[in-house]
Amino acid sequence: MKRHPLHLFKTRPSYSWNLAISGYANYGSSTDVVGVYKLMLKDAAMNLNQITFSTMLILCSNCQWMDLGRQIHGQILKFGFGSYVFVGSPLLDMYAKLGLIFDAEWYYDEMPERNVVMCNTMIIGLLWRGMVEESKHLFHGLKERDSISWTTIISGLMQNGMQREAVDMFREVILAGFTMDQFTFGSVLTACGSLLALGEGKQIHAYVIRTDHKDNVFVGSALVDMYSKCKSIKSGETVFETMTQKNVVSWTAMLVGYGQNGFSAEAVKIFFEMQRNGFEPDDFTLGSVISSYANLASLEEGAQFHC
């Protein structure tokens, strides 16, 4: 990208500065972003606004620039933007991603006003650092929650090995009347599979059918995986066969399900069917089909997959 002479921005309005900063950031020119920002501080500080600081905080987060991030936080306070929630969320996100979770907590506690976006950002940051109890305490203390709040806490519980709590939390979501996204369904179905909770898995499947996610490939794959782990391979097979869309994850889930439930011949068969449908197996899929061949005492045929 051709460099724009920075001196041309000195007499420009605020939106021109922000367009320049965003443009350089989008094209990956991080040093130019910092150059424009520093010139803005020097010659056009009156044009600094929420968009300027938000963009710079996101850049610091993505580039792992701790020192610059702290400096920008100081400038946010200096120019009177410390209480703006639009700036608060990317600031919390930056501190969390840089591993400065206690800085994030301090800033969050000092904010005179918080919206649900800031609260969700803080919960995500705590969960990233494995601070599950703190994230649960914050979640339960929220006056306002949205579907992202529920998705965040359920996924976080799953990632921290708390499958039973994730499933119980999902029940609360349903009772609260929130609409869930594909990632929430994926997380809670994975939890049911890990717990071998077939009954609860079926209830969630029934709920999925009543939503817009019944034809979602991500949710369908999670259902196949859940049924397979719960030893209900025929139910998994039915879900797989009725899926309107399939991807590598779907085929692999069915293949692995067959193998784990002792249907080695079916696993090998679906492997070749997968290839005929134009899907290339990954290393995990290859490992699973080799295992199925071994179970069929067909090690000679299985050897052809060693490249």
Q: Which helix (H) or strand (E) holds 6?
A: none
Q: Give residue 110's pLDDT.
A: 87
- Name which of 253, 204, 203 is nearest 229 in CA terms: 253
User: Are the beta carbons of 151 and 181 closer than 8 angstroms?
Assistant: yes
Spell out the residues 6+ positions from residue 18 whose beta carbon is closer than 8 angstroms to its own.
49, 51, 52, 55
Q: Give residue 212's pLDDT.
A: 86
Alpha helices in the chain (DSSP H): 14-26, 30-43, 50-63, 66-78, 85-97, 101-110, 116-128, 132-140, 147-159, 163-176, 182-195, 198-209, 217-229, 233-242, 248-260, 264-276, 283-295, 299-302
Question: Between vectors from CA 158 to CA 183 and to CA 207, what angle results, nearest 5°?
Answer: 45
Q: What is the pLDDT along the chain (307 residues), one digit of tens a residue?
A: 445 545 555 555 566 777 888 887 777 678 888 888 898 888 778 888 998 999 999 999 989 999 999 999 999 999 999 888 889 999 999 999 998 999 999 999 988 888 898 999 999 999 988 899 999 999 999 988 888 899 899 989 998 999 999 999 999 888 888 878 898 899 999 999 999 999 999 999 999 999 889 899 999 999 999 999 999 999 999 999 999 999 999 999 999 999 999 898 898 899 999 999 998 888 888 787 777 767 765 545 555 555 5
Q: Which residue type, as a one-letter code, is found at position 43?
A: D
**Rounded to the nearest 5°, which phi and psi values hold at 100?**
-100, 60
Q: Give residue 43's pLDDT.
A: 79
Distance (Å, rounded) from C-alpha 291 to C-alpha 264?
8
User: Are the beta carbons of 208 and 223 closer than 8 angstroms?
Assistant: yes
User: Are the beta carbons of 51 and 18 closer than 8 angstroms?
Assistant: yes
User: Global pTM?
Assistant: 0.75
User: Are the beta carbons of 239 and 251 closer than 8 angstroms?
Assistant: no
Q: Give residue 120's pLDDT.
A: 92
Buried b / exposed e along 285-301 (16+ C-beta atoms within 10 A): bbebbbbbbebeeeeee
Structure tokens at 80: 């009177």
